């Protein structure tokens, strides 16, 4: 069993929440991979440098200045802080971008209908499964930032949910894989103002209705799209839950948060 866990920016922005998450993450049985976003730090640095952050449908528009900023923040500061914290907890982690060991090679997204700039889309062959598996087999925990490369020397920003899903799908070709998305809420909420309104199960054919009624919007939409794509391509299970429940979500029953299913 391999567990792929993605943590969102709001977890990274809270030192207390992140510390709790990491303490529970290291207790997950078996092989594991961690993928993280960047949190508010990238936007704060952008604003300090006079570069206004731009978002469309929960995804960051990445111009030439912004790719430099997000690389420094995601693959540098945020990634290395997290790796240092894991080392302090006895977890032998390695911080990675997609360019390292050619682990994730993406394709620059077409400029139509929306020009996202230096943003990557991933393909079926984007993940270097051989090298990733070698790292896991020698007991190293990979920690991926949301920066990949195009194979021609250009770094690209990539949605961290997409990276987590793609890694899970690639590993699922040879192992049983569980994908867990962790953020600050207990799961997907029917009412964003009510933390107790967790939707326990979401089926693939419900997604359009949830989008049309506004239950799913902004950053949650790509998360669910990637979840169902992962299930369609062999990932055993997908759970969306709060960071504090990562250990429970990764357990055999995974009885917490929102479970995604394709039937």
Domain-by-domain residue ranges, the chain? 2-261
Tokens 């009510």: give the residue: 194
The model's pTM: 0.94
Name which of 142, 157, 162 is nearest 230 in CA terms: 162
Judged by DSSP in three states, 177 sits in strand
- In DSSP terms, 156 is beta-bridged to 148
* pLDDT of the residue at 55: 79
Helix and strand numbers (H, E) in the chain are 10, 14
CB of 246 closer than 8 Å to CB of 24: yes
What is the per-residue pLDDT across 41-70, written as a single tens digit (0 to 9) for each? 888 998 899 998 887 766 678 999 999 999
137, 255, 13, 224 alpha-carbon torsion, rounded to 10°:
90
Do 93 and 143 meet the contact criterion of CB atoms below 8 Å apart?
yes
pLDDT at 254: 62
Two structure tokens written together for 159: 């949605």
Query: Which fold, 2-261?
Result: Carbamate kinase (3.40.1160)
Beta-ladder partners of 242: 183
Matching residue, tokens 């993928």: 35
Token duo for residue 33? 């991979």
Helical residues (DSSP H) of the chain, grouped into ranges: 9-12, 15-25, 41-48, 64-70, 79-88, 129-137, 160-172, 207-212, 220-232, 246-250
- CA 80 to CA 143: how far, in whole Å? 9
Its sign, for the CA torsion 222, 223, 227, 228, is: negative
108, 119 Cβ separation under 8 angstroms? yes
Q: Which residues of the chain register pLDDT less than 50? A: none
Tell me how far apart the alpha carbons of residues 27 and 232 are, in angstroms, rounded to a whole number: 28
CA angle 217/181/60 to nearest 5° reads 50
Burial class (CB in 10 A: 0-12, 13-18, 19+), 63: middle
Interstrand relation of 107-108 and 120-121 (parallel, antiparallel or unpaired): antiparallel
| Total number of residues shown for the chain | 263
Q: Six-digit token pair at 120?
A: 């990557």
């Amino acid at each position: 069993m391999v567990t792929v866990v993605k943590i969102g920016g709001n977890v990274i922005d809270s030192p207390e929440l992140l510390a709790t998450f990491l303490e529970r993450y290291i207790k997950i049985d078996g092989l594991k991979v961690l993928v993280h976003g960047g949190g508010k730090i990238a936007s704060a640095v952008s604003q300090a440098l006079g570069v206004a952050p731009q978002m469309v449908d929960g995804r960051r528009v990445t111009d030439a200045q912004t790719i430099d900023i997000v690389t420094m923040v995601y693959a540098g500061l945020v990634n290395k802080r997290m790796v240092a914290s894991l080392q302090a907890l006895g977890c032998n982690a390695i911080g990675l971008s997609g360019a390292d060991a050619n682990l994730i090679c993406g394709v620059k997204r077409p400029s139509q209908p929306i020009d996202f700039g230096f943003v990557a889309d991933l393909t079926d062959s984007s993940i270097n499964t051989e090298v990733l598996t070698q790292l896991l087999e020698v007991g190293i925990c990979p920690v991926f930032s949301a920066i990949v490369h195009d194979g021609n020397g250009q770094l690209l920003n990539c949605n961290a949910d997409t990276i987590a899903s793609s890694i899970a799908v690639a590993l699922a070709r040879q192992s049983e894989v569980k994908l867990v998305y962790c953020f600050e809420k207990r799961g997907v909420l029917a009412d964003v103002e009510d933390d107790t309104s967790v939707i326990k199960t979401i089926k693939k054919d419900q997604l359009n209705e949830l989008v049309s009624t506004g239950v799913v919007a902004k950053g949650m939409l790509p998360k669910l799209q990637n979840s169902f794509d992962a299930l369609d391509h062999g990932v055993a299970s997908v759970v969306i839950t709060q960071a504090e429940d990562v250990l429970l979500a990764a357990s055999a029953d995974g009885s917490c948060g929102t479970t995604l299913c394709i039937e």
